[in-house]
Amino acid sequence: MDTYTEIAVSPEDDIEVRRIGITNRSGARKVIDLTSYAEVVLALAASDAAHPAFSNLFVQTEIVREQQAILCNRRSGAADHASLWMFHLFIHSESFPGDISYETDRMRFIGRGNTLVNPQAMLNVAALSGSEGSVLDPIVAIQCRMTLEPEQSATLLSSPASVRPVTHA
């Protein structure tokens, strides 16, 4: 398998986009799972470092399957502060509409006794759980299963850590 990743970061907006290319160079059909993972931090770096568990209490996650995305929102405690939003998505070519699954609960992704180096989600053949809503430790993970024939290529776009403030109307 040949893979490449191109990363573009906007100098004007809080957005990062990754283009991932995969080519099956073998002589056999390959079924692969591509998983994108990011930690949810919707607070200033100093606030998150001082009280990460407290910041996570105010984060809501929502899976938007029609857009192949996860939307996160951190409710502000003060009426004069804007809510913070984050989205995470996969866009893939129409040539291989693989199965897509989602996870927003860090513990379900990592699993008991595992670490990010060897998470349960990478050991398990089953799809991600699809948990959403209020979770103790929110993450965003999207997994796409695809089948590539010999010499077939695929391109995916992922936005793993896009954050923008939204003001109240």
Domain boundaries, the chain: 2-166
Task: Calculate mean pLDDT across residues 60-83.
Answer: 80
Q: Residue 50 is encoded by which pair of tokens? A: 């001082």
Handedness of CA 124, 141, 132, 48 (dihedral sign): positive
Choose the CATH number for 2-166 among 2.70.98.40, 2.30.30.790, 3.40.50.300, 3.20.20.120: 2.70.98.40
pLDDT band at 164 (very low <50, low <70, confident <90, very high): very low
Return all residues near 100 (Cβ < 8 A) that are at least 6 apart: 65, 68, 90, 142, 143, 144, 145
Q: Which of 78-82, 121-125, 147-151 has the highest mean pLDDT?
A: 147-151
- Which tens digits make up the pLDDT trace of 14-48? 788 888 888 999 999 988 888 888 888 877 777 77
Going through 65-125 in order, the beta strands assigned E by DSSP cover: 69-74, 83-92, 99-105
At 58, list the tokens.
């105010």
Q: Please check the confidence at residue 165 and state whether its pLDDT lies above 70.
A: no
